[in-house]
Chain A
């Protein structure tokens, strides 16, 4: 499985990548939504995108909206991982097409539990 980790913080991308690699994912990183979109238009087909909300150039909500406009990308699972915790933001992101919403700070178990709920783990990948 392949995950695209989208966050303007390199340290946060590293933390998320570490968790996902432990669950058997290959990782591609992007520093903002536009860079992530460029990966997708370039042919990358991740199973999962982890998406921060507040980023320069293109924020996470805009990225989710753009992804959901493209039929061929409908199979990509989108999970927001962000400090944005206003109820209206959560509702907006889910309405735009995000499958799950995790609020920072998170634990590795919180991320892994969400992946399990989404059916994105395989036997033995998570210990």
Chain B
């Protein structure tokens, strides 16, 4: 996990990396804990296959996004849906649903830690990665490994506008 890019930013000061890590671990262990360990990892470059985000609008504005590999998304989906990752092949719709629901739970819990009232968006899931608005600041970045697969979770503050980049 790396330090916030600008921890003294007005909107960033409300969230700590430890808070985000704790709630992310809770979501992971509750729904996927039995399928693979969740371990902290040094940030390492990877090309995400799937990206998902939810935005928070209101007293606090920001976005929670998650990026992961195709293998990671496959395992995650199988874990959520009770499928066998070795033999079952979830559909793309299954992956979108499962990845979206996980980021929704993380985002909802982030929302509970920032000043309200605010609204949580429905999750947006895409192949590729998200491009963030220039007026957004990364305030928390959490890099971890789930099994052997890297997962990156970030919280940005600022305008929740987002550009989706499909590959």
Contact surface of A with B, Cβ cutoff 8 Å: 8-12, 14-15, 18, 54-56, 82-86, 88, 103-107
The interface residues of chain B lying within 8 Å CB-to-CB of A8 are: 122
Residue on A nearest B77 in the bound complex, by CB: A11
In the bound assembly, the distance between CA atoms of A103 and B26 in angstroms comes to: 12
What is the interface residue range for chain B against chain A?
Answer: 20 to 34
Tell me the smallest distance from the CB of B53 to a CB of chain A, in Å: 14
Instruction: Tell me whether A83 and B82 are in contact (CB under 8 A).
Output: no
SS class of chain B's interface: helix, strand, loop or mixed?
helix
In the bound assembly, the distance between CA atoms of A18 and B81 in angstroms comes to: 10
Tell me the smallest distance from the CB of A109 to a CB of chain B, in Å: 11
- State the total of A-B contacts with C-beta under 8 angstroms: 62
The interface residues of chain A lying within 8 Å CB-to-CB of B26 are: 105
Instruction: Tell me whether A85 and B100 are in contact (CB under 8 A).
Output: no
Instruction: Tell me whether A10 and B104 are in contact (CB under 8 A).
Output: no
Tell me the smallest distance from the CB of B119 to a CB of chain A, in Å: 9
In the bound assembly, the distance between CA atoms of A20 and B77 in angstroms comes to: 21
In the bound assembly, the distance between CA atoms of A11 and B79 in angstroms comes to: 10
Instruction: Tell me whether A88 and B81 are in contact (CB under 8 A).
Output: no
CB under 8 Å from chain A, chain B span 73-126: 77, 80-82, 93-94, 97-98, 100-101, 104-105, 107-109, 111-112, 116-118, 120-122
The interface residues of chain B lying within 8 Å CB-to-CB of A83 are: 104-105, 107-109, 111, 120
